A = this chain, B = another copy of it.
Amino acid sequence: MTGVKRKKKSAVCWKIYALRCEDIKLWCLRRFPILEWATNYNVKENLIPDAISGMMLAIQQVTQGLAFAVLSSVHPVFGLYGSLFPVIIYAIFGMGRHVATGTFALTSLISANAVERLVPLSSNNFTTSNNSGVLGLSEFEMKRIGVAAAVSFLGGIIQVTMFVLHLGSATFLLTEPVISAMTTGAATHVVTSQVKYLLGMKMPYISGPLGFFYIYAYIFENIKSVQLEALLLSLLSIVVLVLVKELNEKFKRIIKVILPIDLVLIIATSLACYYADMEYTYGLEVVGHIPEGMPPLKAPTMNVLSEVITEAFGVALVGYVASLALAKASAKKFRYSVDDNQEFLAHGLSNVIPSFFFCIPSAAAMGRTALLYSTGAKTQVACLISCIFILVVIYAMGPMLYWLPMCVLASIIVVGLKGMLMQFRDLKKYWNVDKIDWSIWVSTYVFTICFAANVGLLYGVVCTIMIMIFRFPRAETLILKNMKEAECKFKTEANCESLQQVKIVSVNNPLVFLNAKKFHADLIKIIQKDNASNQAYDDINKCEQNTLLNPLSNGSCHGESSVEPCPNERCAFILDCSGLTLFDYTGVSVLLQIYMDCKNQNINVLLAHCKASLIKAMQYSDNLGSENPIFFESVSSAVGAIQINRNFSKLNEHSEV
């Protein structure tokens, strides 16, 4: 017997163990989405499109990496690292299969704020010979990347914290109009930040509230210092880029090859710059020395963490929001699902870990993700392949980028933002669907332009919530149409005569503090109209009814002026609470108040389809009459109860007669 028992016990243990293993496996699959798609990866079908996509992506990663590193006010080489490490981390933890993480314009813009504040250009009193020994970069550059990496580190920590707090479920607060307006506004900021390169102007770093307008004011004041060579080159680059991309888009189906115009432009202009020696002849700004290879691992500057907390929050939220929107869009397009919370983890880790490798804050970029779509990438393998190419650039081709003119880089960035800026077209859609969402869009855009992306985002979310709170109390709380239908239905079923005073009203809203007042007013209105119409109707057959139904009436029928709301103890009122799925204290107290008011006016209120929690909450009050039950399982049982009540009083009447 004991042997059997032991066997049974071990079997149970085994089951528990197996269960645990299953759990751990499921947990791993949930937290490491790479395990899910990598194990099912179809090498034959997917490797070739992924490899092509990866190559195209690498080109964009390199150009954007350089450009966004400059935008972050750090040395361009750090943009290359930023295009490598976050991509690997996101491929492991991220759920978006077509999401290309890496350097991102908006987060770069935010972290530039911290860099310029804590390590301003004026503090560069080191000579170029004063190198820190790391890749031959000056100490000034190392200080700057230290701050940018600190922003990335803290931003990532914030994102991971939000993952732990399950704040991914709060993303429903970020509505499409707000995200669209914020990203459009931020893209406008990025374009503004590139204007100085496009015009070849030397300009101080301007930021802060209304900095947007100060930048343009500065440009118009110093319009004479525009470098014509740079301006011409920028215009040429922009025209070429836009044209070729448009043509690519148009003839995509016919030629099936996408011309990597970015790469062509970079090579062409770099060569032109080198052979014409534009850097010295025209004084054209170029990218400059890019060191080869990678620096050893180093922690970000931790003692500035407390000073970059605003920027870290900005990076964490703006980066997450923009990336999530892209992940959701690609999930919708290619029919897979994305978990809001897991994305917090993925982006958090791809900010925290790379910050030890001299990386600037990262996020998914719209341009690159669109590229993955159009080049037919299937999985994150495309991104991983792009990493190999970027490694090649870092170790071998970096120095060749020396002669790339900054204005060409700026042109590439500006053209890359086309998609975001085109969101202006959404305005028409919002105007047609909901004017209020339209005004939220416009005001969020204005806030983003005047202040910053994170301020705009905060404003948009708060504004959306506030507007909803003030719209909510105005919504109708009761279905009148359903009432009529239900009434009609029951008329045919039961005794028509005695049921015309029973009104059935459906509650079709949550009953909370926001709309409790409106609910009260609506219901009182219905009750009053009800009584008024009853009285009008009653005038015809009042006589008959009085003798039939009213046990208190003396049978006489001489025009009694009924001032009392319901004189004959025969009004009843059924509230169908099946729609009342959410309530709070204010809601319950309004419901109780209505019940008491009606009781004082001789109107019976019966509640049907109440949830158990609602019944419990209402029964707590001592005022509820215990003589008659008021909660019913369904409308028909409530009608039945009224019926029985009436028959009983009729019976009494008859027996008296």
Instruction: List chain A positions with a Cβ less than 8 A from chain B.
Output: 170, 172-173, 175-177, 429-430, 432-434, 436-437, 464-465, 468-476, 479, 481-482, 489, 506-510, 512-514, 516-517, 578-579, 581-586, 588-589, 609, 616-617, 620, 634
Among A170, A470, A514, A584, find the residue whose CB has the most chain B CB atoms closer than 10 A.
A584
Task: Quote the shortest CB–CB distance from A414 to chain B (angstroms).
Answer: 29
* Interface pair B588/A433, CB less than 8 Å apart: yes
* Interface pair B464/A582, CB less than 8 Å apart: no
26 examples of A-B residue contacts, CB within 8 angstroms: A170-B470, A172-B473, A172-B516, A172-B517, A173-B513, A175-B584, A430-B585, A433-B585, A433-B588, A434-B583, A434-B585, A434-B588, A465-B469, A472-B582, A475-B582, A479-B578, A481-B609, A481-B634, A482-B506, A489-B489, A506-B508, A508-B509, A508-B579, A509-B509, A509-B510, A509-B581
Chain B residues lying within 8 Å of A479, measured Cβ to Cβ, are: 578-579
Given A464-B513, A588-B433, A476:B581 Cβ within 8 A: yes
A-B interface, 9 closest residue pairs, ranked by CB to CB distance from nearest: A508-B579, A475-B582, A432-B620, A437-B585, A476-B581, A433-B617, A175-B513, A475-B581, A508-B508
> A617's contact among B176, B432, B470, B481, by CB below 8 Å, is which?
B432
* Interface pair B434/A173, CB less than 8 Å apart: no
Chain B residues lying within 8 Å of A514, measured Cβ to Cβ, are: 172, 468
Given A172-B516, A465-B469, A513-B173, A508:B585 Cβ within 8 A: no
Chain B residues lying within 8 Å of A475, measured Cβ to Cβ, are: 510, 581-582
Chain B residues lying within 8 Å of A589, measured Cβ to Cβ, are: 176, 433
Complex CA distance for A476 and B476, rounded to whole angstroms: 18
* Interface pair A513/B468, CB less than 8 Å apart: yes
Task: Quote the shortest CB–CB distance from A332 to chain B (angstroms).
Answer: 9
Complex CA distance for A560 and B600, rounded to whole angstroms: 64
> A433's contact among B175, B432, B620, by CB below 8 Å, is which?
B620
Q: Which residue of B lies closest to A177 (CB)?
A: B585
Chain B residues lying within 8 Å of A432, measured Cβ to Cβ, are: 616-617, 620
* Interface pair B170/A584, CB less than 8 Å apart: no
Given A429-B620, A465-B465, A465-B469, A581:B508 Cβ within 8 A: yes
Complex CA distance for A512 and B509, rounded to whole angstroms: 12
Chain B residues lying within 8 Å of A465, measured Cβ to Cβ, are: 465, 469
Chain B residues lying within 8 Å of A464, measured Cβ to Cβ, are: 513
Complex CA distance for A468 and B583, rounded to whole angstroms: 10
* Interface pair A508/B584, CB less than 8 Å apart: no
> A582's contact among B471, B512, B586, by CB below 8 Å, is which?
B471
Task: Quote the shortest CB–CB distance from A50 to chain B (angstroms).
Answer: 27
* Interface pair B173/A469, CB less than 8 Å apart: yes
Among A177, A430, A434, A489, find the residue whose CB has the most chain B CB atoms closer than 10 A.
A434
Task: Quote the shortest CB–CB distance from A75 to chain B (angstroms).
Answer: 42
Complex CA distance for A482 and B608, rounded to whole angstroms: 12
Q: Which residue of B lies closest to A636 (CB)?
A: B485
Chain B residues lying within 8 Å of A585, measured Cβ to Cβ, are: 175-177, 430, 433-434, 437
> A172's contact among B433, B506, B513, B634, by CB below 8 Å, is which?
B513
Q: Which residue of B lies closest to A470 (CB)?
A: B170
Task: Quote the shortest CB–CB distance from A297 to chain B (angstroms).
Answer: 41
Task: Quote the shortest CB–CB distance from A475 to chain B (angstroms).
Answer: 4
Chain B residues lying within 8 Å of A616, measured Cβ to Cβ, are: 432
Q: A173-B469, A437-B584, A464-B513 are in contact. List 16 more A-B contacts (CB 8 A).
A: A172-B473, A172-B514, A172-B516, A175-B513, A430-B585, A434-B588, A434-B617, A468-B513, A468-B514, A475-B510, A479-B579, A481-B578, A482-B578, A508-B508, A508-B509, A509-B509
Complex CA distance for A469 and B462, rounded to whole angstroms: 12
Q: Which residue of B lies closest to A471 (CB)?
A: B582
Chain B residues lying within 8 Å of A471, measured Cβ to Cβ, are: 582
* Interface pair B584/A434, CB less than 8 Å apart: yes
Chain B residues lying within 8 Å of A489, measured Cβ to Cβ, are: 489
Complex CA distance for A432 and B588, rounded to whole angstroms: 11
Complex CA distance for A170 and B588, rounded to whole angstroms: 20
Task: Quote the shortest CB–CB distance from A431 to chain B (angstroms).
Answer: 9
Chain B residues lying within 8 Å of A510, measured Cβ to Cβ, are: 472, 475, 509
* Interface pair B437/A176, CB less than 8 Å apart: no
* Interface pair B468/A584, CB less than 8 Å apart: yes
Complex CA distance for A432 and B586, rounded to whole angstroms: 13
Chain B residues lying within 8 Å of A579, measured Cβ to Cβ, are: 479, 506, 508-509, 579
Q: Which residue of B lies closest to A585 (CB)?
A: B437
Q: Which residue of B lies closest to A482 (CB)?
A: B578
Task: Quote the shortest CB–CB distance from A49 to chain B (angstroms).
Answer: 25
Q: Which residue of B lies closest to A510 (CB)?
A: B475
Q: Which residue of B lies closest to A516 (CB)?
A: B172
Among A517, A585, A634, find the residue whose CB has the most chain B CB atoms closer than 10 A.
A585
Task: Quote the shortest CB–CB distance from A84 to chain B (angstroms).
Answer: 35
Complex CA distance for A433 and B582, rounded to whole angstroms: 13
Task: Quote the shortest CB–CB distance from A13 to chain B (angstroms).
Answer: 37
* Interface pair A468/B620, CB less than 8 Å apart: no
Chain B residues lying within 8 Å of A517, measured Cβ to Cβ, are: 172
* Interface pair B468/A512, CB less than 8 Å apart: yes
Task: Quote the shortest CB–CB distance from A616 to chain B (angstroms).
Answer: 8
Complex CA distance for A170 and B471, rounded to whole angstroms: 11
Task: Quote the shortest CB–CB distance from A166 to chain B (angstroms).
Answer: 11
Chain B residues lying within 8 Å of A588, measured Cβ to Cβ, are: 433-434
Complex CA distance for A517 and B339, rounded to whole angstroms: 13
Task: Quote the shortest CB–CB distance from A536 to chain B (angstroms).
Answer: 26
Given A469-B465, A579-B508, A586:B481 Cβ within 8 A: no
